[in-house]
Amino acid sequence: MNDLEQYLRPGFFTDSNHPEVIAYTQKKISGIVGVKEKVIALYNSVRDDFIYNPYHINLKPYAMKASFLLTKKYGYCVEKSNLFAACVRSMGIPSRTGYSNVRNHLGTQNIEKFLKTDLLVFHGYAEIFLNNKWIKSTPVFNMELCHKYGVEPLLFDGENDAIFQESDKKGNPFMEYIYEHGTYADVPVKKFEVEMRRHYPHLFTKQNNTTKFFLEFED
């Protein structure tokens, strides 16, 4: 089997063959010439069409599919990166998702209150295979959110890795990558849940869900 073949096939979660994923992709690349330019357009669309919201995480299988994000206007890093990977894959370009543990040093007081730690587990990003190499991309923080926290919107040029900056515009610490979980052809939902339960066990008691932070999972 070609090493790239698994990154071209639709996954259960990275459902690049879903009609709505295909329709969204074709709409966003319509009239654009050039493969790289199409990928960049998709990156910008996924980044800014869906407001970044880490306060509602749904681990149920239907909600982890890339196509599900198209039913709403907000999403967190795993959802947004998976949709971008699915869109690119629907164009016949190999793609996969990757995951890291990170510390976000800006604007995290609210989320830290619920997580009881400054460690954000299983931060999602995407990798795209262009010009015979894998390129990291992070279509996560929408432009409006970046302006709010004084961080430059993360640009993707289709040639170089686009991962979060170490500092904001003023030089204050922003994002620190702590641990890499690796890359996957399809979202490793079970591993995601295992890591969430290990680091945030208190979230998996339903009485701890609040109107601000809500976690859904299979009983």
Domain boundaries, the chain: 5-216
- pLDDT for res 116: 87
- pLDDT for res 1: 47
What is the C-alpha to C-alpha distance for residues 47 and 113, in angstroms, rounded to an integer? Answer: 26
pLDDT in tens, the chain (219 residues): 468 999 999 999 999 999 999 999 999 999 999 999 999 999 999 999 999 998 889 999 999 999 999 999 999 999 999 999 999 999 999 999 999 998 875 556 778 888 888 888 999 999 999 999 999 999 998 999 888 877 788 899 999 998 866 545 666 656 788 899 999 999 999 999 999 999 999 888 765 655 566 788 775
- pLDDT for res 150: 79
| SS3 per-residue string spanning 148-193 | HHCCCCCCCCCCCCCCCCCECCCCCECEEEEEEEEEECCCCHHHHH
Q: Which two tokens stand for residue 187?
A: 């979202």
Top-tier CATH class for 5-216: alpha beta
- pLDDT for res 211: 54
Q: Which two tokens stand for residue 208?
A: 């701890």
What is the C-alpha to C-alpha distance for residues 141 and 90, in angstroms, rounded to an integer? Answer: 23
- pLDDT for res 109: 72
pTM here? 0.92
φ/ψ region of 117 (left if φ > 0, alpha if ψ in -120 to 50, else beta) reads: beta
